[in-house]
Amino acid sequence: MDFTLPEEVLALRDTIRRFVERELDPISEQVEEEDRIPDGVAAKMADMGLFGLAIPEEYGGQGLPVVAQCVANEELSRTNACFRTRIGTNNGIGSMAILIGGSEELKRKYLPEMAAGRLIGSFALTEPNAGSDASRLQTTAELKGDKYVINGVKHFITNGDIAGVHTVMAITDKSKGPKGISAFAVEKGFPGVSVGTIEKKMGLRGSHTVELVFEDCEVPRENLLGREGEGFKIAMKVLDKGRLTMAACALGAIEKLIALSTEQAKTRVTFGEPIAKRQAIQWMLVDMAISAYAIRHATYHAAWKLDRGERVTKEAAMVKVFATEAANKAADSAVQIHGGMGYMKGTAVERYYRDLRLMRIYEGTSEILRMIIAREMIA
């Protein structure tokens, strides 16, 4: 067994780490305050090729293996989560359905623009009455001549306000349940698409989560991704990889929390000694380190398996549940170690505490992922 990362992946890690330290982390609080990433910073992220990490080279991206994508996400998670969320849809849920199910023409039209960061993608599955239970989708797509006509409302869509193309899941045959769901690439400029409410959230400021409304939205027939009825299958495939990279994000966040909390513990003096001398504090740091060690090995092992072409539905669900729950616990400990300061706005641990809470909800809640793991075990 060789656990060494290839030279080029180590170089990528170092480049992103420097970029995070020099360009992103210093503006974390500004982004938090203004709830937006400055255009110039997004342009620098594009120049570094961060929007095309997962998009194959033939379509203008870097076509990195999943292991390397995890490394990139881990590094980007050592700062405000909105930065990795900005590139996240283009490297995952916003582009992968096009890659898996799109015609050659559609791939050539959208993917190079996405890889360059000029076109942002979004993934629109969730609806007001259908989150965990996609069989309750109400958005419909009806074939009329050479166009599908889409009607419905999607909500909680990441990057939906800035996206130029949305992957939209809609019902083409209600009688078939999940097998009657189809996926479409819908451009923001197609007639009948509009952005509705922009949500006010607990955290993840700098990244917007929005409602998308489709009213007799006309989509050319060739923008169907895969065949009719394959939408759910495509979505699940996309989500397996997404869950692995999410575990890598949780890992990066825990490592940052360990660094911040260790520094605080070494410098904060109570009763004549730094609090780091107290076992109560040490054990919180130790538990964070244990979880980081376990997540690192499990996540990169699962990513390696996916790179070998193995099916990792169970492993991806396992690492996402484990890593995101551990990250929430780590954020709680980090706030505790920082005492009252940890509860104050402007303290990084306070931001992590709010931002990490989301990770147990999107791309499959912990409960739904446990159902998936059980199904895989019992099948």
What the block records as the tokens of 289 is: 């380190």
Asked if residue 232 binds ligand FAD (CB under 6 A), the reply is no
Q: In angstroms, rounded to a whole number, what is the distance separating the alpha carbons of residues 330 and 343?
A: 15
**Site map 130..169 versus ligand FAD, x via CB under 6 A:** -xxx----------------------xxx-----------
Q: What is the dihedral of CA 275, 79, 307, 311, to 10 degrees?
A: 80
Q: Are 219 and 182 in contact (CB under 8 A)?
A: no
Q: Is 377 exposed, middle or buried (0-12, 13-18, 19+ CB in 10 A)?
A: exposed
Asked if residue 359 binds ligand FAD (CB under 6 A), the reply is no
CB of 233 to ligand FAD, least distance (A): 16
Q: In angstroms, rounded to a whole number, what is the distance separating the alpha carbons of residues 104 and 225?
A: 11
Of 12 and 125, the one with the shorter C-beta distance to ligand FAD is 125
Asked if residue 362 binds ligand FAD (CB under 6 A), the reply is yes
Of 201 and 278, the one with the shorter C-beta distance to ligand FAD is 201
CB of 225 to ligand FAD, least distance (A): 15
Q: In angstroms, rounded to a whole number, what is the distance separating the alpha carbons of residues 103 and 110?
A: 11
Q: Closest Cα to residue 359, out of 226, 225, 203?
A: 203
Contact with ligand FAD (CB under 6 A) among 248, 358, 359, 372: 358
**Site map 175..214 versus ligand FAD, x via CB under 6 A:** --------------------------x--x----x-----
**Site map 293..322 versus ligand FAD, x via CB under 6 A:** ------------------------------
**Site map 95..134 versus ligand FAD, x via CB under 6 A:** ----------------------------xxxx----xxx-
Residue nearest to ligand FAD (CB): 131
Asked if residue 245 binds ligand FAD (CB under 6 A), the reply is no
Of 77 and 261, the one with the shorter C-beta distance to ligand FAD is 77
Of 19 and 123, the one with the shorter C-beta distance to ligand FAD is 123
Q: In angstroms, rounded to a whole number, what is the distance separating the alpha carbons of residues 45 and 152?
A: 34
Q: In angstroms, rounded to a whole number, what is the distance separating the alpha carbons of residues 347 and 355?
A: 13
Of 157 and 303, the one with the shorter C-beta distance to ligand FAD is 157
Q: In angstroms, rounded to a whole number, what is the distance separating the alpha carbons of residues 306 and 322?
A: 18
Contact with ligand FAD (CB under 6 A) among 21, 367, 374, 375: 367
What the block records as the tokens of 220 is: 């050319």
Asked if residue 234 binds ligand FAD (CB under 6 A), the reply is no
Total chain residues near ligand FAD (CB under 6 A): 19
Q: In angstroms, rounded to a whole number, what is the distance separating the alpha carbons of residues 168 and 28?
A: 31
Asked if residue 62 binds ligand FAD (CB under 6 A), the reply is no
Of 103 and 365, the one with the shorter C-beta distance to ligand FAD is 365
Q: In angstroms, rounded to a whole number, what is the distance separating the alpha carbons of residues 249 and 75?
A: 8
Q: Which residues of the chain form beta strands (DSSP E)? A: 121-124, 140-144, 147-158, 165-171, 181-187, 193-198, 209-220, 224-225, 269-270, 273-274
Asked if residue 170 binds ligand FAD (CB under 6 A), the reply is no
Asked if residue 41 binds ligand FAD (CB under 6 A), the reply is no
Catalytic residue, from 33, 104, 363, 367: name it. 363
* 172-179, Cβ contacts within 8 angstroms, sequence gap of 24 or more: 172/140, 172/141, 172/142, 172/143, 172/148, 172/228, 172/229, 173/228, 173/229, 174/140, 176/229, 177/135, 178/134, 178/135, 178/232, 179/229, 179/232
* Active-site residue flag, 363: yes
Contact with ligand FAD (CB under 6 A) among 151, 313, 365, 376: 365
Asked if residue 324 binds ligand FAD (CB under 6 A), the reply is no
Q: In angstroms, rounded to a whole number, what is the distance separating the alpha carbons of residues 150 and 167?
A: 12
| Residues binding ligand FAD (CB under 6 A) | 123-126, 131-133, 156-158, 201, 204, 209, 358, 361-362, 365, 367-368
Tell me the catalytic residues.
363
